Amino acid sequence: MSNKLILILVVFIYSCSQENKMEPTAEQISTTLNKFESDNGEVLKAIYNNDGVFNWVLAVNGISSTGSWKGYASAMCNTLYEVNILNSSNKDTAIEHGVRIVDARKLIDSNGNFREASLGSADCKTFQMNDI
């Protein structure tokens, strides 16, 4: 098989596997965004980005008083468990959930490019932390 055909096959299989995954309701999203903003002094704005790999984006001032931003992202994953978007019984059936911490100023300067403004991230199913 050519590399192009393999890539198309992989993308197709991935998209099919995501089609039946449970997404959060509008109410769960709203509750979670409010909780991110009200319970965490570092978070200036919380955004749900349903098309992103890291679908929970938290804008901060970029100066950490908490240590590593990727560690902060991992800690913020706990919120998804607190509001029951993720739990031990739905981790396999829920869509992928990740938290990305972004610098609010860089986000504005990059016209909303989450990756360019990224300070760190975490996969909320595995709690694996990333620098991106």
Over the chain (132 residues), the average pLDDT of each successive run of 10 is: 61 56 94 95 94 93 79 95 93 93 96 95 95 88
Residue 7 lies inside a defined structural domain of this protein: no
Residue 45 lies inside a defined structural domain of this protein: yes
Residue 18 lies inside a defined structural domain of this protein: no
Residue 17 lies inside a defined structural domain of this protein: no
Amino acid at 14: Y
The pTM (predicted TM-score) of the whole model is 0.82
Neighbours of 79 (CB within 10 A): 22
Residue 107 lies inside a defined structural domain of this protein: yes
Domain residue limits at 83? 23-130
Report the number of distinct structural domains present in the chain: 1
The encoded tokens of residue 15 equal 């998209």
Give the three-state DSSP class for 100.
strand
The encoded tokens of residue 102 equal 């972004």
